[in-house]
Amino acid sequence: MKKHISLLAIVLMVVFSVQSAPARGEDAVIPDSGPAETGKPVFDIAGQSLKEPATLELPGQESAPLPETDQGESSLAPQDLSAEFLDNASSSSSSPDTGTIPTRFSEDMSAPGGSAGPSVKAVWLMMGPAGKFSGTDDGSEPGAQFLPSGRFEVGKPVSICAVISDSDGIADIASAAGSIFYPQAGFGESEQSGRNGCGLPKEQNMPMSALTKDDAVALFCGAIRNQNSNLPVFAGGSGYGDICGGEGELAQEKAGVFCADAELAYDDLSGEYKISVSAKDKGGAGSEAVNATLSYLELTAFETDFAGLDYGRVRQGSVNSVDGDLAWQGSRGENNSTIRNVGNTRMRIEISQNDMGLGKTGGDWNIRYGTRLGMDKPWQNYSPEEKVVLEPVFNLSEAKPADFAIKVLHFPEDSTQNYLGKMTLNALKAEFLSCSVPK
């Protein structure tokens, strides 16, 4: 079961004060594959915002001539020879009349060198690094679930582990490798560092190292079996019974636990990741790959580098604005405003503001607001207490400058010199981009 966490309201204090001054090949034929506005916000005087498959034909094949026979010897047609051979092959003694000798063989199912090769018995993911032997994840559902950090450039350490056995003992296991594949979704415009999503590899053929016997038993037969038993995916009918215990494969050193460390980035795609583990022995025999999944749980979240806005000294009927930028400030204050996505979903920002104490005149609000995410984007105007979803969408790890503006339509008669209010920002999940299907 997926979980979705939305980082709700960031509330910012906003302030302005009043001033009377204005503000600022040929063998075979392969068929072809099938088919703003920029600048200050604008308000009107009322305060309103303006086949068939190809075949390969073989040449006719002539029958080879039968060998000549001496006079008096019988000659058999090819079909007679074949029948004669099969009839005698089933006999336990040869026939002096035909001169045939029965032969037989059976298929050797063992791997080269006489070993049956290694076998992957169980696969799981847990909180990393492996040396912590945690055996834990962030969920209670079967399999592994992990929550992102929700902090910029802070990843989630994970370990991919497996129980791998060999009939000749774990000393015969030469190597084990694990791979992680992205969910079937795209990163979008903010693709970076070669990340491409859409089911392609995130980490491929990571070498997995063996734990000591004692650590393997303590982790798998202790922490996981007793506290997180639905974490592993078992293969081939295996289970805790044949792996654990005094007569189990771990205790008898017929199997071992192998692990590799990896990391889910704070802005890696949320969703289902495929995990694959395989192994080889010293004779070169390989195991079948065993697959599992991990769920990177959804977190829709953002952070800002500004903790408040000062709209400055405002004259009635004039527009005052505060400009944003892309320069991230480490210390939050009344900075040029920047918003960035720190979750693992695409997102939109929802905004609302109160009336800053100006109230209404004749049923109409005395103040109007405007916001835009980037100088090349249009202003979106709104009234107090109105919730507005801003465009455009934030892709993973994307930052945008945020410009804010106000227009006071009427100051109440009992107005004061300073007005205080609040702005509320909320993160809303936006759908991922779909992956294109090759034609």
- pLDDT of res. 307: 92
Q: What is the pLDDT of residue 387?
A: 98
Find the helix or strand (DSSP H, E) in which 17 lies: strand 10-18
Q: What is the reported pLDDT for 163?
A: 98
Q: Is residue 313 part of a domain?
A: yes
**Who's near 335: CB < 8 A, 6+ residues apart?**
305, 306, 329
Q: How far is CA 426 from CA 109, 183, 341, 347, in A?
A: 62, 26, 12, 10
Maximum separation of any 2 CA atoms in the chain, in Å: 136
User: In this structure, is residue 168 part of a structural domain?
Assistant: yes
Tell me the per-residue pLDDT of 373-406, one tens digit each, with 9 for 90 and over: 999 999 999 999 999 999 999 999 999 999 999 9
pLDDT at residue 148 tops 80: yes
pLDDT tens sequence across 115-137: 578 999 999 999 999 999 999 99
Report the CATH number that the domain containing residue 141 is assigned in CATH: 2.60.40.3880
d(CA 249, CA 169): 9
Is there a single domain that holds both residue 382 and residue 400? Answer: yes
Q: CB burial class (10 A; 0-12, 13-18, 19+) of residue 68? A: exposed
CB-side neighbour CA atoms (13 Å) of 131: 0
Q: Is the pLDDT of residue 186 over 60?
A: yes
Same domain flag for 310 and 293: no
pLDDT exceeds 80 at position 76? no
Residue with tokens 């007569």: 247
Q: Which of 38, 23, 32 is nearest to 51 (CA)?
A: 32
What pLDDT, on a 0 to 100 scale, did the predictor assign at position 169?
94
Q: Is residue 60 part of a domain?
A: no
Same domain, 296 and 215: yes
Neighbours of 352 (CB within 10 A): 18
Tokens 């806005």 belong to 309
Q: Is residue 344 part of a domain?
A: yes
Residue 410 lies in a domain: yes
Burial of residue 283 (CB within 10 Å: 0-12, 13-18, 19+) is middle
| Higher-confidence position of 298 and 85 | 298
- Chain mean position to CA 253: 35
Domain with residue 413: its CATH number is: 2.60.120
Mean pLDDT of the chain: 81
Assigned domain for 238 exists:
yes
Cα–Cα distance measured from residue 97 to residue 102, given in angstroms and rounded to the nearest whole number:
14
Q: Are residue 311 and residue 289 in the same domain, yes or no?
A: no
376 and 314 both lie in a single domain: yes
d(CA 259, CA 162): 7
Model confidence, pTM: 0.74
Residue at a domain's end among 300, 327, 347: 300
28-44 pLDDT, tens digit each = 333 344 444 444 454 44
Inside any domain, residue 108: no
Q: Which domain holds residue 338?
A: 4-20+302-430
- Predicted local confidence at residue 439, as pLDDT: 47
Domains contained in the chain, number: 2
Shared domain for 351 and 216, answered yes or no, is no
* Same domain flag for 313 and 164: no
CA distances from residue 340 to 14, 76, 123, 186, 355 in whole angstroms, order as listed: 20, 87, 36, 19, 26
Q: 104: pLDDT confidence band, cut at 50, 70 and 90?
A: confident
268 and 339 both lie in a single domain: no
The rounded Cα 59 to chain-centroid distance in angstroms is 52
Q: Give me the pLDDT at residue 367, please.
A: 97
Lowest mean pLDDT among 12-16, 89-93, 328-332, 418-422: 89-93
From 259, 277, 300, give the residue that closes a domain: 300
Residues 226, 310, single domain; the answer is: no
Is residue 267 located within the same domain as residue 403? Answer: no
Instruction: List, edge to edge, every strand of the sheet that includes 418-430.
Output: 308-314, 10-18, 418-430, 346-353, 388-389
Give the containing element (helix H, strand E) for 301: none
One domain for residues 247 and 372: no
Residues 400 and 258 in one domain: no
What length does the chain have?
439
Output the pLDDT for position 433. Answer: 83
Domain boundary among 249, 281, 300: 300
Instruction: Check residues 2 and 312 and name the one with the higher pLDDT.
Output: 312
pLDDT at residue number 414? 76
The three-point CA angle 120-122-128 to 5° equals 115
pLDDT of 62 reads 41
Q: Quick: pLDDT tens for 223-252.
A: 999 999 999 999 999 999 999 999 999 999
Q: For tokens 């981009």, what's the residue?
A: 433
CB-based contacts of 263, cutoff 8 Å, min separation 6: 128, 155, 156, 157, 158
90 domain residue, yes or no: no
Strand stretches in 109-184, DSSP E: 119-127, 144-146, 156-165, 173-181
Please give the C-alpha separations between residue 311 and each of 302, 386, 419, in angstroms, as whole numbers: 23, 19, 10
